[in-house]
Amino acid sequence: MSLRGCVGRYTREDGRHCQNWPDDQLTVIDLLNSVAPYDGGAGGSLDGNINGRLVAGISSDALYRAISQFEDTQFPGQCTGVVAPDSLLLRRLEELSACAPIGAAPQVEDMPELRSAD
């Protein structure tokens, strides 16, 4: 998937909004919804609307929080608040959204730290 522009708010620039094209917002919302909460995703709970619709140029508080939560989980300390085209954050969202169905608990095989030493 590709984005035309950035989605979210620039955390380090006092929350300034970026491009936030509605189709890009919808792409990011769909990706966040397809990532389980234990991976920092929204797990299907995010709609991202402001008064019932996506607004061009404005990221809803809920969308910004969901992006920040995912970023904090996957890239601690990065704190950009933005999903940019061709960014590592977008690639990670795409990877995780393709991996596991919503609600699927992580498996021991997927978590080496939980495997017993045989």
Per-residue pLDDT tens listing for the chain (118 residues): 689 999 999 988 888 999 999 999 999 999 999 999 999 999 999 988 888 888 999 999 999 999 999 999 999 999 999 999 999 999 999 999 988 565 555 555 555 555 555 4
Alpha-carbon distance of 51 to 38, in angstroms, equals 29
- The 3-state secondary structure of 100-113, one letter per residue: CCCCCCCCHHHCHH
- Is the CA virtual torsion 55, 12, 4, 62 positive or negative? negative
Helix 22-33 vs helix 61-74: crossing angle, to nearest 10? 50
Residue 98: other Cβ atoms inside 10 A: 10
pTM of the predicted model, to two decimals? 0.82
